[in-house]
């Protein structure tokens, strides 16, 4: 497994219940500010194998972006159960629920 992938997995596993990070945030903390799509690939291919709390990663607008409606509903239900705040438009309230780690990138190994 490459170092970026290891960092992404560690970062996502470190997001506390009730909080979310965006794909771009995860990529930046992992050392690749333009690597949001790589984060998506890691989540898609490794979530089950590494027991990653995939539901805690959303897009920069606070939207849940899933390929099908059932998965999107499932993700929203899991986040609501954790106490994540949503706006009336269905987006995550990033002012209340965004996780901002205070760790330097090199510490995420």
pTM for the structure as a whole: 0.89
9 assigned to some structural domain: yes
- What pLDDT, in 10s, does the model give residues 21-65? 999 999 999 999 999 999 999 999 999 899 999 999 999 999 998
104 assigned to some structural domain: no
Q: What angle do CA 54, 51, 40 make, to 5 degrees?
A: 35
- What pLDDT, in 10s, does the model give residues 72-88? 999 999 999 999 999 99
8 assigned to some structural domain: yes
- Report the alpha-carbon distance of residue 100 to residue 28 in Å, rounded: 12
| CA 50 vs CA 11, 47, 75, 99: distances in Å | 12, 6, 18, 21
40 assigned to some structural domain: yes
Question: Which CATH number belongs to the domain containing residue 22 in this structure?
Answer: 1.10.10.10
109 assigned to some structural domain: no
Tokens (6 digits) for 32: 């690749």
**Domain count for the chain:** 1
The range of the structural domain enclosing residue 25 comes to 3-97
102 assigned to some structural domain: no
């Amino acid at each position: 497994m490459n170092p970026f992938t290891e960092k992404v997995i560690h970062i996502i596993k470190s997001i506390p219940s009730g909080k979310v990070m965006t794909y771009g945030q995860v990529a930046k903390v992992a050392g690749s500010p333009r690597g949001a799509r790589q984060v998506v690939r890691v989540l898609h291919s490794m979530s089950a194998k590494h027991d990653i709390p995939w539901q805690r990663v959303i897009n920069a607008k606070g939207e849940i972006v899933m390929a099908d409606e059932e998965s999107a509903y499932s993700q929203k239900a899991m986040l609501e159960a954790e106490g994540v705040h949503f706006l009336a438009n269905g987006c995550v309230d990033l002012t209340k629920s965004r996780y901002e780690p205070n760790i330097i990138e090199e510490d995420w190994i």
